[in-house]
Chains A and B, each alone.
Chain A
Amino acid sequence: MTHSPAGEPVEPQSPGAAPLPQAQGPSPAVRATGVSKVFATKTGDVAALSDVDLDVAAGEFVALIGPSGCGKSTLLRLIADLDQASAGTLEIFGKPAKRARADQDYGIAFQQAGLLPWRTVGANMALPLELHGTGKAERTARVAELAELVGLTEFVDRYPDQLSGGMQQRVAIARALAARPRLLLMDEPFGALDEMTRERLQTELTRIAAETAAAVVFVTHSIPEAVFLSDRVVVMSPRPGRITDVIEVGLGPDRSEALRESPEFFDLVTAVREALHGRSPVAEPVEASLRQAQGPGTRQGPGTRQGPVERS
Chain B
Amino acid sequence: MTDTATTTLAGPSRAAGTATGERRLPGWLRWVAPVVVGALIVVLWWFWVDVLGTAPRMLPSPFAILAEFVKRWPIIAQDMAITATNALIGLVIGSLLAMLFAGLAAAARPIDGMLAPLVAALAVIPIVAITPILNTMFGASSQFGRQAVATIAAFIPVFVNVLRGLRQTRPVHRDLLRASAASGWQTFRFLTLPTALPYLLTGLRIASSLAVIAALVAEYFGGPADGIGTAIATYAKSGRAALAWAYVLGGILIGLVFYLVTSLLERLATRRAQV
Genuine A/B complex: yes
Contact A114 B170 (CB under 8 A): yes
Interface stretch (choices B36-44, B173-181, B225-233, B245-253): B173-181
Contact B275 A110 (CB under 8 A): no
In the complex, 14 of the A-B residue pairs with CB atoms within 8 angstroms, ordered by the A residue number, are A104-B180, A110-B176, A112-B172, A114-B172, A116-B173, A131-B177, A131-B190, A132-B180, A153-B2, A158-B12, A160-B275, A161-B275, A162-B12, A204-B1
Q: A108-B176, A117-B272, A168-B275 are in contact. Are A131 and B5 (CB under 8 A)?
A: no
Counting contact residues on chain A (CB < 8 A from B), the size range is: 35 or more
Q: Which residues of A contact B175 (CB under 8 A)?
A: 77, 80, 82, 108, 110, 114
Q: Is A128 an interface residue (CB 8 A)?
A: yes
Can you list, as one digit per residue, whether each of B238-275 has a CB less than 8 Å from chain A (1) or not (0)?
A: 00000000000000000000000000000000001111
Q: A113-B275, A161-B273, A204-B1 are in contact. Are A127 and B180 (CB under 8 A)?
A: yes
Q: Is B92 an interface residue (CB 8 A)?
A: no
Q: A116-B191, A128-B180 are in contact. Are A162 and B11 (CB under 8 A)?
A: yes
Q: A116-B194, A128-B180 are in contact. Are A110 and B172 (CB under 8 A)?
A: yes
Contact A117 B273 (CB under 8 A): yes
Can you list, as one digit per residue, whether each of B1-27 has a CB less than 8 Å from chain A (1) or not (0)?
A: 110111011111011000000000000
Contact B181 A131 (CB under 8 A): yes
Interface size on B, residues (CB 8 A): 32
Contact B15 A161 (CB under 8 A): yes
* Contact residues of A between 164 and 202, Cβ < 8 Å to B: 164, 166-168, 197, 200
Contact A163 B9 (CB under 8 A): yes
Q: A113-B275, A204-B1 are in contact. Are A162 and B179 (CB under 8 A)?
A: no
Q: Which residues of A contact B142 (CB under 8 A)?
A: none
How distant is the Cα of A30 from the Cα of B210 in the complex, in angstroms?
Answer: 58
How distant is the Cα of A161 from the Cα of B190 in the complex, in angstroms?
Answer: 18
* Chain B residues with a Cβ under 8 A of chain A: 1-2, 4-6, 8-12, 14-15, 170, 172-173, 175-182, 186, 190-191, 194, 197, 272-275
Can you list, as one digit per residue, whether each of A75-102 has a CB less than 8 Å from chain B (1) or not (0)?
A: 0010011100000000000000000011
Contact A101 B179 (CB under 8 A): yes
Contact A102 B272 (CB under 8 A): no
Q: Which residues of B contact A158 (CB under 8 A)?
A: 12
How distant is the Cα of A164 from the Cα of B9 in the complex, in angstroms?
Answer: 6
How distant is the Cα of A159 from the Cα of B271 in the complex, in angstroms?
Answer: 11
Q: Which residues of B contact A80 (CB under 8 A)?
A: 175, 179
Q: A127-B190, A167-B8 are in contact. Are A159 and B176 (CB under 8 A)?
A: no
Contact B275 A108 (CB under 8 A): no
How distant is the Cα of A215 from the Cα of B114 in the complex, in angstroms?
Answer: 50
Contact A102 B181 (CB under 8 A): yes
Chain B: minimal CB distance from A29 (Å): 16
Contact B15 A131 (CB under 8 A): no
How distant is the Cα of A131 from the Cα of B186 in the complex, in angstroms?
Answer: 7
Contact B179 A82 (CB under 8 A): yes
